[in-house]
Chains A and B, each alone.
Chain A
Amino acid sequence: MTHVLVVYTDDEPGVLTRVASLFRRRGFNIHSLTVGPTERPSVSRMTVVVDTDANTARRAVEHLRKLVNVLEVQQLGQHAKVVRDLALIRVSANATQRSEVLQLVQVFRSNVVDIAEDSLVIECTGSLGKIEALVDTLRPFGILEMGRTGAVAMTRGLRTDPSLVSSSEPVRAESSQSMSV
């Protein structure tokens, strides 16, 4: 099962290595990991999608909290959330197939960003499921190349600026409940 973790860290050299090293060493299986700046200059934000059972995901969160550079960790499991991935897909399509592909792209509300004689490059943003569905749909035409960013995620509704949850209570309460199985 996949679990989505949002990790706020100091924006410092080596922090990504620390997080990646932790997952590798503990054998936590990373599905995707993205990192980028936030609204605050000194804070980075990672979205880590792990493929594991609930107890291991909880332990991954607790290990992350022990890293000095980590400000806060949220496990988005229980919250309503937006998860977005961006894919660039080069699909084989000659002149006769082109319009069919274009129609499918429209259905998925994606964009064509490059057209060559025998191929198209499609840009698709969406949930992991949507991208996988588009990929399956395009596969019969022949996928020549694909690149994906990995997921970026955010809760819906609730504001989660780390400075507002510095006591880390919302997330803690949830994890200590799940602990007393």
Chain B
Amino acid sequence: MEQTGAQIIWECLLKMGVDTVFGYPGGAILPTYDAMTGYPVRHVLVRHEQSAVHMADGYSRASGRTGVVVATSGPGATNLVTGLATAMLDSIPLVAITGQVGSGLLGTDAFQEVDITGITLPVTKHNYLVTRAEDIAPAIREAFAVATSGRPGPVLVDITKDAQQGKATFEWEKAMPTRHLRHIPPFPAAAELERAVAMINEAKRPVILAGHGIQLSGARAEVLTLAERADIPFAITLLGLGAVPATHPHSLGMMGMHGEAWVNQAIQEADLLIALGMRFDDRVTGRLKAYAPDAKKIHIDIDFSEFNKNVPVDVALGGDLLQVLRAILPKVQSARHTPWLERINSWRGDSAVRDIKNLPDDGHLYAAHVMHDLWKLTKGAAVVVTDVGQHQMWEAQYYHHDGERSLITSGGAGTMGFALPAAIGAKMACPDAEVWVVAGDGGFQMTFAELMTAVQEDVKVNIAIINNGFLGMVRQWQELFYESRYAATPILSPDFVKLAEAFGVHGQRVDKRADVASAVAAARAAKGTALIEFRVEQEDSVYPMVAAGAALHDMIRRPSPSPLAETGADPV
């Protein structure tokens, strides 16, 4: 039976198990929207196409499923670019379907014609321009296969209007993709696995570098087995937080630019680094020449082009982390590294004393307090979606993520405006989860129109706006490296409580630590989406910090002596 191309699009999506899409209509995609009415799909109407991609991205990060975006040609399609780049840099699988002008008009600068496959080439894993109805099913089916196989990523399928309107027979079996299987790399050679095992068994000061690939591979249990059996502490990348539990006895916490000093110190003094699904981003290595100089390095990654990119390694094991770990674990001997763990622990106390979280309540509200309290009040069980900036780092430092997929954040691109739409997507993927947005006053103002999407879709997310009156992270750099010349970083905000009211959501303002708990409780109890504006210390900075170009252990520490120096460390 022949169907229109538009119907075939939905048939394909149903076959792929898609029940929710995020999108915005327009002329070139109208046939597809028209056909949608005949299918059991929930369409989430966004307020800006960039947010549609962030929602699909949040949906994917929260559930592991592939998020789907639909947009029209021209400006609809170009609005996707930031979202696609965000997903690409963090290896998030999603499929974007865009309408395109009729095939006869391609190349003529027709109304709303934009070469979106050309524009998105470097920010997608692959993309397609489909001009015939019969080519739709193979393209969409392959798009899902490409998005999810190997190192995941976003894929765009641009479909001309005449292809949507044309007729073809929907042949799912014939559309079976094969090209994504062309380069299945061979499993690492036995000798290479042996070398890695020997290095692990011989190490005296080993550290695991736990990355996002653990989540993408589903290798949490195997990583923990390695850590526990061989008594190896693990440092976690921003995107690895949650993939392994933060409160595990072997967890050191986040590494890198805003990691705690003891974590980076451990990496710098290690004699073996075992990098698991992480890519040695420049935010985690500091100055490369001074990075972990005494350590041998084992790197396990599914993407062979990551090997020896930033950090030269001694053994590179290419493949899916879960499979590789399963191959080496049987030969890993149990060991105890007590002196090494004690040594790391001795550095920990010093940092904790300087910790802002331990400041007594002096009437000021610190973002660190808010994060710490939020963690305690939600028992660490929420899915937290952060925006980009200082609040993102404080969240990473003070909200201890134990659950898988419990932190959703834009790491590689650092895309402001990500949090609210990504949280809406996450909540749709996991309706039973308690979802919190943590955003700055700057980033929130980039995409807050999506509050209306949350209302229209009847989605409950809780929102903590950390309002410091500045583009805080940039202000911090200006304070530290540009002699406090605050060029273009003071930022005004609307009255967020009234704003919440205008959108018909619950709104509160908090400026004292004593009020944090009751506000959080009220937000959680509110029926729909709820927003709390936390008015925090304006010129507070995130510490510790590795300055650009500095070695990883050479950190700007928290201001000392701390008023708390005598009270000692709070263990968590």
Contact = CB atoms under 8 A, between A and B. Distances in A.
- Is the A/B pair a real complex? yes
Interface of A: 10, 14, 17-18, 21, 25, 55, 58-59, 62-63, 65-72, 166-169, 172-173, 175-176, 179-181
Given A175-B304, A179-B307, A14 B117 contact: yes
Contacts of B309: 59
A66 B308 contact: no
5 contacts: A62-B303, A62-B307, A70-B183, A175-B304, A176-B316
A21 B122 CA distance: 7
Most buried by B among A62, A72, A180: A180
Given A63-B305, A66-B150, A71-B182, 11 more contacts: A14-B117, A21-B121, A21-B122, A68-B179, A68-B180, A72-B182, A168-B182, A172-B186, A179-B304, A179-B316, A181-B314
A97 to B, nearest CB: 49
B293 interface: no
B1 interface: no
Contacts of A71: 182
A10 B138 CA distance: 15
Contact of A70 (B182, B304, B308): B182
Contact of B118 (A17, A62, A168): A17
Most buried by A among B126, B129, B146: B126
B144 to A, nearest CB: 13
A21 B316 CA distance: 27
Interface string B135-157: 00000001000100011000000
A180 B316 contact: yes
Interface residues of B, number: 33
B525 interface: no
Given A21-B122, A180-B316, A169 B186 contact: yes
A17 B127 CA distance: 12
A161 to B, nearest CB: 15
B180 A59 contact: no
Given A17-B118, A68-B146, A180-B195, A168 B183 contact: yes
Contacts of B455: none
Nearest 7 A/B pairs, CB to CB: A62-B305, A62-B304, A65-B183, A68-B126, A179-B316, A63-B305, A59-B305
A72 B309 CA distance: 22
Interface string B194-235: 010000000000000000000000000000000000000000
